[in-house]
Amino acid sequence: MKILKIDHLGIAVNSIDEGKTFWSDIMGLDFAGSETVTEQKVTTGFFPVGASEVELLESTAPDGPIAKYLGKKGPGIQHVAFQVENIEDALAELKAKGVLLIDEKPRIGAGGAKIAFLHPKATYGVLVELCERS
């Protein structure tokens, strides 16, 4: 498995607009747009930082994963995403090493990237996302 970089930090917010007031107005990051991923009941907002991004996550439904996260923990860093060269190879390698996976097969996330999550039980508490961008 080859990790290329930290792709983005996924940060759960009550609303993208609220998050913008800090990340854009105060921190000075450019807002690169938002996208709704219906299947995951989330709207994402992107703020590029060098080769990485801050990705704000706003829930679109009360039963979505981000709504559940906010209910339990409140706003904050929800996941860390690593860009890998080949996500299928990475998942196969991790599975062979006994790592508990949330997604055994990649699905399509924001920006058309192939993404998969590892279980936080296997990562000392960090929700790790792998992503592959073409």
Q: List residues near Zn ion by CB under 5 A.
A: 10, 81, 129
CB of 4 vs Zn ion, minimal distance in Å? 15
SS3 72: helix
Quick one: 58 or 129, whose CB is closer to Zn ion? 129
* Strand (E) or helix (H) holding 93: helix 87-96
Beta strand 34-37 pairing with 42-49: antiparallel
Q: In one letter, which amino acid is 89?
A: D
CB of 67 vs Zn ion, minimal distance in Å? 16
CB of 118 vs Zn ion, minimal distance in Å? 12
Quick one: 81 or 116, whose CB is closer to Zn ion? 81
Quick one: 94 or 98, whose CB is closer to Zn ion? 94
Token code pair at residue 123: 């990562």
Phi then psi dihedrals of residue 14, to 5 deg = -70, -35
**Angle of CA points 18, 108, 59, to nearest 5°:** 25
CB of 78 vs Zn ion, minimal distance in Å? 8
Quick one: 98 or 110, whose CB is closer to Zn ion? 110
